[in-house]
Amino acid sequence: MHIAITRPKEDSLYLIEKLIKLGHIVTHLPLIRIEKLETEKINLTNYEAVVFTSSNAIRYMNIEKFNSKIKCFCVGNATEFTAKQVGFVNTYSSEGTVDSLIELIIRTMDNKSGKLLYLSSEFISKDLDKDLIKAGYSVDRISNYTSLAIEEIDENTLNFLKKKPPDVIFIYSSKSAKNLIKLINKYSLLNVVTHSNLMCISEKVLLLLKEIKWKKVFIFSPGEEEFLLEKIG
Protein backbone atom coordinates (compact mmCIF):
# COMPACT_ATOMS: atom_id res chain seq x y z
CA MET A 1 0.00 0.00 0.00
CA HIS A 2 0.92 3.64 -0.45
CA ILE A 3 0.74 5.38 2.92
CA ALA A 4 0.98 9.12 3.65
CA ILE A 5 2.35 10.02 7.10
CA THR A 6 1.64 13.64 8.04
CA ARG A 7 3.43 14.09 11.38
CA PRO A 8 6.68 16.07 11.66
CA LYS A 9 9.79 14.09 10.75
CA GLU A 10 11.05 13.72 14.33
CA ASP A 11 7.78 12.00 15.30
CA SER A 12 7.55 9.80 12.21
CA LEU A 13 10.94 8.19 11.56
CA TYR A 14 10.32 4.99 13.54
CA LEU A 15 6.90 4.40 11.96
CA ILE A 16 8.11 5.22 8.45
CA GLU A 17 11.03 2.80 8.74
CA LYS A 18 8.75 0.10 10.12
CA LEU A 19 6.18 0.48 7.33
CA ILE A 20 8.87 0.41 4.64
CA LYS A 21 10.28 -2.81 6.13
CA LEU A 22 6.78 -4.29 5.89
CA GLY A 23 6.81 -3.57 2.15
CA HIS A 24 4.68 -0.41 2.00
CA ILE A 25 5.39 2.71 -0.04
CA VAL A 26 5.52 5.65 2.36
CA THR A 27 5.24 9.34 1.53
CA HIS A 28 6.21 11.75 4.27
CA LEU A 29 3.76 14.64 3.91
CA PRO A 30 4.28 16.81 7.01
CA LEU A 31 1.40 19.20 7.62
CA ILE A 32 2.88 20.99 10.63
CA ARG A 33 6.32 21.84 11.95
CA ILE A 34 7.35 22.07 15.58
CA GLU A 35 9.06 25.06 17.18
CA LYS A 36 10.43 25.40 20.69
CA LEU A 37 8.93 27.98 23.04
CA GLU A 38 11.16 29.66 25.58
CA THR A 39 10.29 28.86 29.21
CA GLU A 40 11.80 29.46 32.60
CA LYS A 41 14.08 26.71 33.87
CA ILE A 42 12.19 23.93 35.64
CA ASN A 43 13.18 22.24 38.90
CA LEU A 44 11.71 18.74 38.71
CA THR A 45 12.43 18.15 42.38
CA ASN A 46 9.47 20.46 43.11
CA TYR A 47 7.05 17.93 41.61
CA GLU A 48 5.76 14.48 42.46
CA ALA A 49 5.17 13.57 38.80
CA VAL A 50 5.62 14.87 35.27
CA VAL A 51 3.12 14.29 32.43
CA PHE A 52 3.83 14.16 28.68
CA THR A 53 1.34 13.87 25.82
CA SER A 54 4.06 14.23 23.16
CA SER A 55 7.73 13.43 22.70
CA ASN A 56 8.21 17.06 21.62
CA ALA A 57 7.55 18.24 25.18
CA ILE A 58 10.41 15.99 26.32
CA ARG A 59 12.80 17.19 23.61
CA TYR A 60 12.26 20.84 24.53
CA MET A 61 12.44 20.59 28.33
CA ASN A 62 14.32 23.46 29.94
CA ILE A 63 15.47 21.73 33.12
CA GLU A 64 17.44 23.31 35.94
CA LYS A 65 17.35 20.28 38.25
CA PHE A 66 16.59 16.85 36.79
CA ASN A 67 15.03 14.04 38.82
CA SER A 68 15.34 10.69 37.04
CA LYS A 69 13.17 8.90 39.62
CA ILE A 70 10.16 11.21 39.40
CA LYS A 71 6.94 9.49 38.28
CA CYS A 72 6.78 10.06 34.53
CA PHE A 73 3.39 9.56 32.86
CA CYS A 74 3.42 9.21 29.04
CA VAL A 75 0.54 9.09 26.58
CA GLY A 76 1.94 6.08 24.69
CA ASN A 77 4.89 3.81 24.04
CA ALA A 78 6.72 6.17 21.67
CA THR A 79 6.59 9.01 24.20
CA GLU A 80 7.71 6.64 26.96
CA PHE A 81 10.65 5.53 24.80
CA THR A 82 11.75 9.17 24.41
CA ALA A 83 11.38 9.74 28.16
CA LYS A 84 13.62 6.76 28.91
CA GLN A 85 16.18 8.02 26.40
CA VAL A 86 16.63 11.28 28.34
CA GLY A 87 16.94 9.50 31.68
CA PHE A 88 13.52 8.97 33.24
CA VAL A 89 13.44 5.55 34.92
CA ASN A 90 10.05 5.54 36.69
CA THR A 91 7.82 5.66 33.62
CA TYR A 92 4.17 4.78 33.02
CA SER A 93 2.57 4.51 29.58
CA SER A 94 -1.13 4.72 28.71
CA GLU A 95 -2.91 3.42 25.61
CA GLY A 96 -2.24 6.36 23.31
CA THR A 97 -5.08 8.73 24.22
CA VAL A 98 -5.34 11.62 26.68
CA ASP A 99 -8.38 10.00 28.30
CA SER A 100 -6.46 6.78 28.96
CA LEU A 101 -3.57 8.83 30.33
CA ILE A 102 -5.86 10.63 32.78
CA GLU A 103 -7.27 7.27 33.90
CA LEU A 104 -3.74 5.91 34.38
CA ILE A 105 -2.73 8.87 36.55
CA ILE A 106 -5.86 8.57 38.71
CA ARG A 107 -5.30 4.82 39.16
CA THR A 108 -1.61 5.20 39.94
CA MET A 109 -1.28 8.38 41.99
CA ASP A 110 -3.24 9.71 44.95
CA ASN A 111 -4.46 13.26 44.40
CA LYS A 112 -3.00 14.34 47.75
CA SER A 113 0.51 13.01 47.13
CA GLY A 114 2.00 16.12 45.48
CA LYS A 115 1.99 18.49 42.53
CA LEU A 116 2.11 17.34 38.89
CA LEU A 117 3.88 19.11 36.04
CA TYR A 118 2.25 18.89 32.60
CA LEU A 119 4.60 19.89 29.75
CA SER A 120 2.63 20.40 26.55
CA SER A 121 2.13 22.12 23.24
CA GLU A 122 0.81 25.67 23.12
CA PHE A 123 -2.28 24.18 21.45
CA ILE A 124 -3.93 21.07 22.92
CA SER A 125 -7.06 19.22 21.85
CA LYS A 126 -8.06 18.20 25.39
CA ASP A 127 -7.46 19.99 28.70
CA LEU A 128 -5.70 17.23 30.61
CA ASP A 129 -4.61 19.64 33.33
CA LYS A 130 -8.12 20.95 33.92
CA ASP A 131 -9.57 17.43 34.06
CA LEU A 132 -6.99 16.42 36.66
CA ILE A 133 -7.63 19.58 38.69
CA LYS A 134 -11.34 18.71 38.70
CA ALA A 135 -10.32 15.29 40.07
CA GLY A 136 -8.55 16.98 42.98
CA TYR A 137 -4.96 17.10 41.70
CA SER A 138 -2.62 20.08 41.81
CA VAL A 139 -1.22 20.63 38.30
CA ASP A 140 1.13 23.15 36.71
CA ARG A 141 0.96 23.32 32.92
CA ILE A 142 3.90 24.73 30.96
CA SER A 143 3.79 24.99 27.14
CA ASN A 144 7.29 24.49 25.78
CA TYR A 145 6.61 24.05 22.05
CA THR A 146 4.14 25.07 19.38
CA SER A 147 3.04 23.81 15.96
CA LEU A 148 2.95 25.85 12.75
CA ALA A 149 1.26 24.98 9.48
CA ILE A 150 3.41 23.98 6.50
CA GLU A 151 2.11 25.91 3.51
CA GLU A 152 3.89 24.19 0.63
CA ILE A 153 4.20 20.67 -0.82
CA ASP A 154 7.48 20.13 -2.63
CA GLU A 155 7.22 19.46 -6.36
CA ASN A 156 8.50 15.87 -6.29
CA THR A 157 6.08 14.87 -3.53
CA LEU A 158 3.19 16.62 -5.25
CA ASN A 159 3.85 14.89 -8.58
CA PHE A 160 4.11 11.48 -6.90
CA LEU A 161 0.84 11.99 -4.99
CA LYS A 162 -0.95 12.84 -8.25
CA LYS A 163 0.62 9.89 -10.05
CA LYS A 164 0.00 7.41 -7.24
CA PRO A 165 -2.71 8.55 -4.79
CA PRO A 166 -2.22 7.29 -1.22
CA ASP A 167 -4.22 4.27 -0.14
CA VAL A 168 -4.09 5.58 3.43
CA ILE A 169 -3.59 9.02 4.99
CA PHE A 170 -2.92 9.34 8.74
CA ILE A 171 -4.03 12.58 10.46
CA TYR A 172 -2.82 13.22 14.03
CA SER A 173 -4.22 16.63 15.07
CA SER A 174 -6.84 19.30 14.44
CA LYS A 175 -4.22 21.67 13.10
CA SER A 176 -3.01 19.03 10.64
CA ALA A 177 -6.58 18.40 9.49
CA LYS A 178 -7.24 22.09 8.89
CA ASN A 179 -4.00 22.47 6.96
CA LEU A 180 -4.71 19.38 4.87
CA ILE A 181 -7.91 21.04 3.64
CA LYS A 182 -5.97 24.18 2.71
CA LEU A 183 -3.36 22.19 0.79
CA ILE A 184 -5.98 20.08 -0.98
CA ASN A 185 -7.63 23.28 -2.21
CA LYS A 186 -4.34 25.02 -3.03
CA TYR A 187 -3.01 22.14 -5.15
CA SER A 188 -6.36 20.80 -6.50
CA LEU A 189 -5.92 17.42 -4.80
CA LEU A 190 -9.56 16.57 -4.14
CA ASN A 191 -9.63 13.89 -6.85
CA VAL A 192 -6.43 12.43 -5.37
CA VAL A 193 -7.61 12.02 -1.76
CA THR A 194 -11.00 10.55 -2.66
CA HIS A 195 -9.05 7.37 -3.49
CA SER A 196 -7.69 7.31 0.07
CA ASN A 197 -8.73 5.74 3.35
CA LEU A 198 -8.57 8.30 6.16
CA MET A 199 -7.07 7.34 9.52
CA CYS A 200 -8.00 10.01 12.05
CA ILE A 201 -6.82 10.52 15.62
CA SER A 202 -10.30 11.34 16.99
CA GLU A 203 -13.95 11.97 16.14
CA LYS A 204 -13.34 15.67 16.81
CA VAL A 205 -10.58 15.82 14.19
CA LEU A 206 -12.64 13.73 11.77
CA LEU A 207 -15.41 16.35 11.81
CA LEU A 208 -12.97 18.82 10.25
CA LEU A 209 -12.56 16.50 7.25
CA LYS A 210 -16.12 15.27 6.84
CA GLU A 211 -16.79 17.24 3.63
CA ILE A 212 -14.34 15.06 1.69
CA LYS A 213 -15.67 11.80 0.26
CA TRP A 214 -13.04 9.43 1.60
CA LYS A 215 -12.95 5.79 0.57
CA LYS A 216 -13.35 4.76 4.23
CA VAL A 217 -12.66 6.46 7.55
CA PHE A 218 -11.19 4.99 10.73
CA ILE A 219 -10.47 6.35 14.22
CA PHE A 220 -7.13 5.24 15.67
CA SER A 221 -4.72 5.80 18.55
CA PRO A 222 -0.96 6.24 17.96
CA GLY A 223 0.61 2.81 17.99
CA GLU A 224 -2.34 1.19 16.19
CA GLU A 225 -1.24 2.17 12.68
CA GLU A 226 0.07 -1.25 11.68
CA PHE A 227 -2.99 -3.06 13.07
CA LEU A 228 -5.38 -0.83 11.11
CA LEU A 229 -3.45 -1.34 7.89
CA GLU A 230 -4.02 -5.08 8.27
CA LYS A 231 -7.79 -4.43 8.46
CA ILE A 232 -7.68 -2.50 5.19
CA GLY A 233 -5.25 -4.80 3.42
CATH code: domain of residue 62: 3.40.50.10090
Whole-angstrom CA distances from 158 to 107, 154, 166, 176, 177 are 47, 6, 12, 17, 18
In this structure, is residue 165 part of a structural domain? no
Domain of residue 140: give its range: 35-147
62's CB contacts (< 8 A; 6+ apart) are 38, 39, 40, 41, 42, 144
Answer whether 15's CB lies under 8 Å from 22's CB. Answer: no
The answer to whether residue 95 is domain-embedded is yes
Question: Nearest to residue 202, comparing CAs of 148, 125, 121?
Answer: 125
The total number of structural domains that make up the chain: 1
User: φ, ψ for residue 154 (rounded to 5)?
Assistant: -65, 155
**Coil, strand, or helix at residue 74?**
strand
Q: What is the dihedral of CA 84, 86, 88, 89, to 10 degrees?
A: 50
**Going by DSSP bridges, is the β-strand pair 42-43/49-52 parallel, antiparallel, or unpaired?**
unpaired
Please state the pTM of the whole predicted model: 0.84
Task: Report the share of the chain in percent with pLDDT over 90.
Answer: 83
With respect to residue 168, please indicate whether it lies within any of the assigned structural domains: no
Q: What is the pLDDT of residue 9?
A: 87
Q: Residue 207: which residues within 8 A CB-CB, separation 6 or more?
A: none
For residue 214, is it within any domain?
Answer: no
Q: Is residue 61 part of a domain?
A: yes
Domain contains 127? yes
DSSP 85: H
Q: Is residue 100 part of a domain?
A: yes
Q: Give 151-186 pLDDT, tens digit per residue.
A: 999 999 999 999 999 999 999 999 999 999 999 999
pLDDT the model gives residue 233: 65
Which of the four pLDDT bands, split at 50, 70 and 90, describes residue 147?
A: very high
pLDDT at 223 over 80: no
Give pLDDT, residue 222. 77
Q: Give the Cβ contact number of residue 124 at 10 Å.
A: 17
Average pLDDT over residues 200-226: 90
pLDDT tens sequence across 31-80: 999 999 999 999 999 999 999 999 999 999 999 999 999 999 999 888 99
Is 131 inside any structural domain?
A: yes
The arithmetic mean of pLDDT across residues 129-149, rounded, is 97
Average pLDDT, the chain: 94
